[in-house]
C-alpha cells in the first residue's frame, strides 16, 4: 500500500498563540527614556587661590524657592532667559586682546568681554522644584547651542549642517573614523569659541 | 475527487483571515524588539521633566541609574510622602548613594570604570535640595559625569 502523505498540521490556532505573546509584550513594554541633559560636576578640591573674575563677566541666575527666576537681580520670565543669556554671551564688549571678532552683540562695556570669559552662575534654592531647574538648564544649554550653531554654519557653510547635527553625527558609533577625524577639529573650534562655563553654587537654605 | 464543495452563489464570501497571523506576528516582533525589560521596579513616582536640548545617553552598560521622587501610592503608608531616593530595588538615604556608586563601578568591566555616567531620573516635583545632596555625594566619589534624564519636549510643558 502506498504511503499516505502526512496530514497537514492545523495552523488555525497560530493566531491565538501569536496574540497571547503580543499581549504579553504589550503589557510588559516600557519605552525607556534614554536621553537627557549631560552635565559634568566639578571635582571637590580646595581652590587655594580663586581666580579673580570681573563682575561684568558673570551672569548670575538665581531661582528662588517660589520658582521665580532672577537674572542680575531682576525678575525674568523663563521664556526670555534664552535671549538674555545669548545677549550676555555674545556681547563682546572687550577691547584690545579681549576683543571678540565674531560676536554680534551690543558690545556694551557693562556686559561680558568675550564668550571665553563669560560665566553663567546658576544658584538655586533647596526648595526649588526640579522641573523648573531643568527648564532653566535647558534654556541655558539652548543659548550656547544656538550660538554654536550660528558659528558652525558661518565657518563651515560647505558642511550643510549645524553644530548639533554635526555633534550628533560625531557621537554616533556608526560614523566612520574618517568622518569623525574630519568633524573633530571643527567641533572643538566652535566649542572653544563658546565654551560652556556654567558654574553652580551650592544651594541656599531657606530660613 | 474534490475536497471542497462549490458554494452556491448568492452568499457573500467570508473574509479571509489567513493573513491575520502574519499581521499579529508583525506587531509581535515590533514589540519584542522595542521592549526593554526593566531591571528594577520603580517604587517612586517618576514623571520626568521635559527638555529639548538633549543628548543621547551612553550605552546601557555604561550607565547607572538613580531614581528619586515621592514614594508611589502603595508605599506611602510605610514611607510617607516625602521625596526619596531609590537605588536598585530599595529606598535609600543620601549617604548610601556613594557606596552604591562605588559598588556599581566595581561591578563593571575594568575599561568601563572610568567612562560611567550616572543617570538621574528624578521626578519633576522633587525639591532641588535632595538633588543637590545627591550631586554632592556623587562629587565625593568622583562620579562626575551625570545625565539629567528627561523626556523629549518643550520646556513649557514643565510649567503647568
* Residue range A57-91, pLDDT digits in tens: 888 888 888 888 888 888 888 888 888 888 888 88
Q: What is the topology classification, in CATH, of domain B50-149?
A: Nucleotidyltransferase; domain 5 (3.30.420)
ipTM passes above 0.85: no
Which has more confidence, A93 or B127? B127
Give the number of residues written for chain B: 160
Count Cβ neighbours within 10 Å for each residue of A111-136 and write b for 16 or more, e otherwise: bbbbbbbbbbebbbbbbbbbbbbbbb
Q: What is the pLDDT of residue A27?
A: 81
C-alpha cell at B41: 521596579
Residue A177 backbone dihedrals phi, psi, to 5 degrees: -65, -35
- Whether residues A22 and B144 touch (CB distance < 8 A) is answered with no
CB A140 within 8 A of CB A80: no
Q: Which residue would you say has higher pLDDT here, B25 or B7?
A: B25
pLDDT exceeds cutoff 60 at B135: yes
For residue range B100-115, list pLDDT tens digits in order: 999 988 988 888 888 8
Q: Which of B23, B113, B139 is nearest to A45 (CA)?
A: B139
Q: Do A130 and B123 touch (CB under 8 A)?
A: yes
Residue of B138, B148, B151, B157 to mutate for A, most A C-beta atoms under 10 A:
B148
Checking if the pLDDT of B20 tops 70, the result is: yes
> Is A79's Cβ below 8 Å from some Cβ in B?
yes
- Whether A30 contacts chain B with CB within 8 A: yes
Helix (H, G, I), strand (E, B) or coil at B50: strand
Burial classification of residue A155, based on how many CB atoms lie within 10 Å of its CB (0-12 exposed, 13-18 middle, 19 or more buried): middle
User: Alpha helices of chain A — where are they, by DSSP H?
Assistant: 14-28, 78-89, 130-155, 163-171, 177-193
Quick check: B86 and B68 in contact, CB under 8 A?
yes
Q: Look at residue A180 and tell me whether its pLDDT is greater than 70.
A: yes
* Model confidence band, residue B29 (pLDDT cutoffs 50, 70, 90): confident
Which residues on chain A are in Cβ contact (under 8 Å) with B32?
25
Q: What pLDDT is stored for residue B38 in this prediction?
A: 65
Q: What is the pTM of this model?
A: 0.78
- Closest Cα of chain A to B5: distance in Å? 19
Amino acid at each position: 500500500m502506498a504511503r499516505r502523505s502526512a496530514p497537514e498540521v492545523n495552523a488555525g490556532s497560530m493566531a491565538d498563540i501569536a496574540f497571547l505573546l503580543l499581549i504579553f509584550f504589550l503589557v510588559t513594554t516600557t519605552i525607556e527614556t534614554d536621553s537627557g541633559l549631560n552635565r559634568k560636576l566639578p571635582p571637590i578640591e580646595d581652590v587655594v587661590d580663586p581666580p579673580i573674575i570681573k563682575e561684568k563677566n558673570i551672569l548670575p541666575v538665581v531661582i528662588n524657592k517660589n520658582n521665580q527666576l532672577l537674572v542680575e537681580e531682576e525678575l525674568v520670565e523663563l521664556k526670555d532667559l534664552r535671549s538674555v543669556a545669548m545677549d550676555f554671551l555674545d556681547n563682546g564688549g572687550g577691547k584690545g586682546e579681549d576683543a571678540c571678532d565674531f560676536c554680534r552683540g551690543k558690545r556694551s562695556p557693562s556686559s561680558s568681554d568675550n564668550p571665553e570669559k563669560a560665566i553663567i552662575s546658576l544658584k538655586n534654592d533647596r526648595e526649588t522644584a526640579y522641573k523648573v531647574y531643568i527648564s532653566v538648564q535647558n534654556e541655558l544649554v539652548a543659548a550656547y547651542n544656538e550660538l554654536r550653531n550660528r558659528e558652525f554654519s558661518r565657518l563651515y557653510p560647505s558642511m550643510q549642517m549645524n553644530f548639533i547635527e554635526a555633534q550628533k553625527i560625531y557621537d554616533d558609533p556608526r560614523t566612520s573614523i574618517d568622518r569623525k577625524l574630519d568633524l573633530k577639529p571643527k567641533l572643538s573650534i566652535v566649542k572653544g569659541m563658546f565654551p560652556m562655563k556654567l558654574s553652580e553654587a551650592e544651594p541656599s537654605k531657606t530660613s | 475527487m474534490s475536497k471542497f464543495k462549490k458554494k452556491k452563489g448568492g452568499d457573500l464570501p467570508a473574509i479571509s483571515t489567513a493573513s491575520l497571523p502574519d499581521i499579529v506576528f508583525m506587531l509581535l516582533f515590533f514589540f519584542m524588539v522595542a521592549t526593554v525589560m526593566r531591571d528594577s521596579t520603580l517604587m517612586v513616582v517618576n514623571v520626568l521633566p521635559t527638555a529639548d536640548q538633549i543628548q543621547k545617553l551612553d550605552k546601557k552598560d555604561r550607565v547607572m541609574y538613580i531614581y528619586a521622587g515621592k514614594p508611589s501610592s502603595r508605599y506611602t503608608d510605610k514611607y510617607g510622602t516625602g521625596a526619596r531616593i531609590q537605588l536598585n530595588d530599595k529606598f535609600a538615604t543620601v549617604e548610601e548613594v556613594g557606596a552604591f556608586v562605588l559598588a556599581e563601578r566595581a561591578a563593571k568591566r575594568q575599561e568601563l570604570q572610568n567612562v560611567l555616567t550616572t543617570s538621574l531620573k528624578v521626578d519633576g516635583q522633587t525639591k532641588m535640595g535632595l538633588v543637590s545632596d545627591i550631586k554632592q555625594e556623587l562629587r565625593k566619589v568622583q562620579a562626575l559625569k551625570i545625565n539629567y534624564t528627561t523626556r523629549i519636549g518643550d520646556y513649557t510643558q514643565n510649567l503647568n
